[in-house]
Amino acid sequence: MRITVMGTGYVGLVTGTCLADLGNDVQCFDIDQAKINRIEGGDIPIYEPGLNSLIERNMKTGRLSFSSDIDSSVAFGDIIFIAVGTPSMEDGSADTRQVLQAAKSIGALMTNFKVVVNKSTVPIGMADIVGETITSELNTRFNSMNCERPGFSVISNPEFLKEGSAVEDFMRPDRIVLGIESSEDGNKAREMMRKLYAPFNRNHERTFVMNVRSAEFTKYAANAMLATRISFMNELANLAERVGADIDSVRQGIGSDPRIGYSFLYSGTGYGGSCFPKDVQALQYTANSNGLPLKILSAVEAVNQRQKYVIAEKISAYFDNNLEGLTFAIWGLAFKPNTDDMREAPSRVLIKELLTRGARVIAHDPVALEAAQVAFKEDLKDHPELSNQLQFCENAMDILEGADALILLTEWKEYKSPNFAQIKSLLKQALIFDGRNLYEPQIMQEQGFIYEGIGRRASPVDLLFAQSSAKAETA
C-alpha cells in the first residue's frame, strides 16, 4: 500500500519506517528540509534502539523515502498518517496547530479518496475538527467547479509506543485501536486499515474497532492509568520509609495478585517524558472544560511533581541542609533508559535544585549528554552563573573521583552491575542516593556503603527527612 506520514518526529519516524519494513511504500513528509537532509544522510534526530538500521535498510530498498514537498506527499499516499507534535499549552491543553495545518494541506491538495489517520495524540473530538477543516478546503476548491469532489474518512489510530522499545512495540503490538465512524467512506477506510494491519492479526486478532471519540479517549485513559500507578507507588514508598516497610517487598506482594500485576509499580523519582505529563494535563483540561474535574488525576500530577524533589530533600537532610561547595556525581539524565529524551526528566529538577543550593554537579548518561546540554541551557537561562557548577562527562567512572556522593537517576543497564569496590575508592565517602532502587540495600550495606533508595527501609536519613518534613508541615 502507499502511505504518507506527515511528521518525522518520534511517532512519525517509527510509524513510517516500520510500515515500510512490512512491505508498504512510505513517504515521510516534514516541512524542515534540513531535518530531511539529516535523516537521508544517516543522522537520525532521535535515539531509538534498532531504528537507524531499519531506516537505512528500507531506504536502500526504495520502500522508504523522505520529502519536504507537500504537494507530492499528499498525492503519494492513499492513507495519510498525521503524526505531528501536539505539545502542552500553558493551560494544559494540547497545541493542535500542526495537526490543523496538516489537515488544511490535505484538503487543499487531495485529488482522490484518502484515509486520514490521526496518529498524533489529540484531544477528544479532534477528528471532527480535522474533518471539518478538510471539508472547508474542499469547499473552497470545488464549490465553483462542476465536478465531483474526492471523498475521505478521518479515523483515530492512537499510538502505544514506549520510548526505548518503540520498534518492538510497533512490530509486536498488544493491541491496535481504530476509531472509525460507520458510513460509506468509513467502511472503505475500515477495509483499507484492516488490509494495512493484516500482518499483525495473523495469529490472533489484535484490532479493536470503535467509534472515533472512544479511540481518542482510549489513548489518554491508558497513559493516565499508567501515570496513576506510578504516583500511587511513589506515595506508598514515601509512607513505607516512615513506617519501616520495604516498598519492593510490598510491590512483590501486591503485584503477584493477577488483578494488579507488576507493570508500572516501581517507585522512584517520578515520571517524565513526552507522554505521561502531557496526556494527564490534556485529559484534565478536557474534563474541566466539560465541567467534571478529575480529582484523581489532579492528585497524580501533584504527587509526581512532589516526587521529583524527594532525592534533593534526602541529600539536604544528610548534609544538614548545607550543600555549599559539595560535589555530586549523577548517573543518568534521560527520563528513562534507552532514550535521549530529556522532556520532563526528573534529573532536570534535581540538578537545578542542587546547583541553586551551591553544589557542583558532574553528570553522565550513555546517550543523552547532547540533549541534556540543550535542556539545561534552557533551564538555567535566567541564572547563567549556575552553568559553571555543572559539568558533563562521557565516562561514568571518571565523574566519581572526589565526589561527595553518587546519585542514580536513570536505570541504564550499564549502571546495574558496576564495580562497587572502584566506586567506593573514588568517592570521598561511600554514599549512594538511588532514585531508581537499582541496588539492594542489604548488599550495599554489606559492602560498606551508606545507601538511600526510595522506600527501601527506614534509616537515619529517612528519619531526618521525616522529622524535617513534620517540622515544615507544623511551621
**Residues catalogued as catalytic:** 275
> What is the residue-wise DSSP string for 335-395?
SSTT----TT-HHHHHHHHHHHTT-EEEEE-SS-HHHHHHHHHHHTTT-GGGGGGEEE-S-
Amino acid at 15: T
Residue 448: partners with Cβ closer than 8 Å, 6 or more residues away: 424, 430
- Report yes or no: 264 and 234 within 8 Å, Cβ to Cβ: no
Paired residues of 187 in beta bridges: none
Distances in Å between the Cα of 378 and the Cα atoms of 258, 336, 381, 390 are: 44, 20, 5, 13
Torsion angle of the four alpha carbons 77, 80, 85, 90, in this order, in degrees rounded to the nearest 10:
140
Phi, psi angle pair for 290, to nearest 5°: -100, 15
Distances in Å between the Cα of 372 and the Cα atoms of 343, 359, 366 are: 10, 18, 11
Question: Shortest CA distance to 376 belongs to which of 358, 361, 366?
Answer: 361
Task: Return the DSSP state at 402.
Answer: T
End-to-end CA distance of the chain: 66
- Report yes or no: 240 and 247 within 8 Å, Cβ to Cβ: yes
- Report yes or no: 272 and 334 within 8 Å, Cβ to Cβ: no
Residue whose cell numbers read 565516562: 395
Buried b (16+ CB within 10 A) or exposed e, 278-314: bbbbbbbbbbeeeeeebeebeebbebbeebbbbbbbb
Q: Quote the CA–CA distance of 311 and 433 in Å, as a whole number.
A: 7
- Order of all β-strands in the sheet with 152-156: 64-67, 25-29, 2-6, 79-82, 114-118, 152-156, 176-179, 207-210
